[in-house]
Amino acid sequence: MKIALAVFGALAVGINALNVAPALAQSPPPDAVMLVPGVYTTPEISAKCQAFAAKRVVGGSNTDTSRQAVALACAQKLWKADLAKQAKQAR
């Protein structure tokens, strides 16, 4: 019985820690736009990724879908790199 209460208590603390984490996350800059939940972009990132996707995806049957997927992956990668750079500068 005591073990079950201890496990439940630890689980409750863990769940609360997960709920607090998003509140501690950085808010996006004012010029950022959310593409899909959790993936933001800025005009500079969008321009780079659209150009990259246009070069990367040429021809085929699903070019629009493929370009969107490549541009989204590019935006996610560059956004995370930008956040890491900002965090490094903040230290």
Question: Higher-confidence residue: 82 or 17?
Answer: 82
Question: Higher-confidence residue: 29 or 69?
Answer: 69
- Rounded mean pLDDT, 28-52: 90
The residue with tokens 């321009």 is 47
- Rounded mean pLDDT, 1-18: 47
Contact 35, 29 (CB under 8 A): no
Which stretch of DSSP H or E encloses residue 33?
A: strand 33-36
The residue with tokens 């990668």 is 77
- Rounded mean pLDDT, 7-18: 46
Q: How far is residue 52's CA from residue 39's CA, in Å, rounded to a whole number?
A: 17
**For all residues of the chain together, what is the average pLDDT?**
78
pLDDT in tens, 42-56: 999 999 999 999 999
Distances (CA, A) of 13 to 17, 21, 66: 6, 13, 42
Q: Domain extents for the chain?
A: 2-90
